[in-house]
Amino acid sequence: MRPDRRLTLDASTADFAIDVANIVRNISLGGRRGAELGRLLSLLDALALFHHDDAVQVYCVTDRSLMTDERLTASERGTLESWYADGLLEVRPVADDRLVELASAARLRVVTDDNFLDYYREHPWLPGDRRHFLRAVAGPDGTVLVRPRIMPEPEDWQISRKEEESALLAAGLYDRRRGGARQDLLLRRWLCPEPGCPLFGPARSGGQPCPTRRGGTVRCPTHGVELQDMGARPHQVQLKVRSEGAVRHRFLLVEGESLTVGRAPTVPGGGVPLAAHLGEAALHWISRNHVVLELSGRTLMVRDISANGTRVRGPRGEDVRLPPGMARRLGRSESVVLHDSVSLELSGRNFVFDVFDEDGVQYPREGPGIARPTPVAGEAAQPTMLAPGPERGRAGGGNPGRKPGRGRGGRGSGGKRGRR
């Protein structure tokens, strides 16, 4: 998979955050130069393996100094510049404070070797933390692997010395006394007054990055200027396309939108085409226009418009066939089965910033130690940002199979060959 397809600055749907400069300059990960972009590319593959999700999404942050690091080739620096221009890479004077924000406010696991000692007083949850950080290590065959890590518990003098070093490094560059970004900032739309801002500019489409909070105001993390509040952000859900037992693709559905999903949708805008992710049997079974998904408020509806039918699978594996043309509400623990080998599932990262549950109960939002509800009941056994799951394809985790005698026609059976 192309590396840029795994990059996102939508903090509500990212699975991990990466300390890019820390990884690119880590000579223990292989390579001959002091800085090599290939180390980051290897880490993206390692995170896909670690998370058992080839479409894993990562939020990348880098120190500004990396953009002009002469140890990188001109081509590598050009790649970083293009990612920044496309709104896929966040560039900061110093990335450390931002990475701690992402771990605290967005609940992202951060891949880094940095210990962040100068942030221990401001964030007392850091010492001994074992939930929010990962380390990239070299494997025995030269590949890059991902391992959980436990943050150190240093002596007070070690923290003080690190604070002094960072104060010298950051003198005049940013305010270290800010309160930190909060999750509710992600429920608003923000506009940066700087022309052409790739993070919060008017031309940006898709999800938004995580803004920063300084001196009681919400600011652009790149330009440091106050952002304009453009109102509430529409509710959205992320769905996964699981084919042959593995996640092959993800897409967002925004409140008020209607999306057609199928082999090769023939609707304006193209819908969500699945052909590139399907096996031969599924290609012959799934219709060009197979289902329509609609999000109204927080209610996700699915409607079957296919030739061979669609099923909804419940949390216990039970299947219910959708009546043709009739819309049905999809529960958080349910999945849409288009073929024995292909299903649509709600992502566990969809609802991480929802403030209220379905019964109107408000959950605490501040601090990484605060418990939050499990976003999707069915996701509990799947890999999440805090609990990578077991390898799929083994007991209990293989392809979603059809129960004997249920539905009509399966792989190789005599159902309609609905290439409609």
- Three-state helix/strand/coil letters over 187-216: HEEEECCCCCCCCCCCCCCCCCCCCEEECC
Please tell me the predicted confidence (pLDDT) of residue 157: 60
Residue 364 contacts residue 355 (beta carbons within 8 Å) = no
Which amino acid is residue 290, in one-letter code?
H
Q: How do the pLDDT tens digits run along the chain, 420 residues long?
A: 789 999 999 988 899 999 999 999 999 999 999 999 999 999 999 999 999 999 999 999 999 999 999 999 999 999 999 999 999 999 998 899 899 999 988 889 999 999 888 788 888 889 899 999 999 999 988 899 999 999 988 776 666 555 555 544 443 223 333 333 345 677 788 999 999 999 999 888 767 787 887 767 888 988 989 999 998 888 888 898 999 988 899 898 888 889 999 999 999 988 999 999 999 999 999 999 999 999 988 889 999 999 999 999 998 889 999 999 999 999 878 999 999 999 999 875 433 333 333 333 333 333 333 333 333 333 323 332 222 333 333 333 333 333 333 333 333 334 444 555
CA distance 24 to 12: 25
Instruction: Report how far residue 12's alpha carbon sits from residue 103's, in angstroms, rounded to the nearest whole number.
Output: 12
- In this structure, the strands spanning 311-313 and 291-296 are unpaired
Distances (CA, A) of 380 to 120, 337, 348, 390: 31, 19, 9, 12
- pLDDT given at position 257: 87
Cβ atoms of residues 127 and 120 within 8 Å: yes
Bridge-based pairing of strands 133-138 and 109-111 is: parallel
Question: What number of other Cβ atoms are within 10 A of residue 407's Cβ?
Answer: 18
* DSSP result, 302-329: EEE--SS--EEE-TTS-EEEPPTT-EEE
Which structure tokens are listed for 175? 């305010």
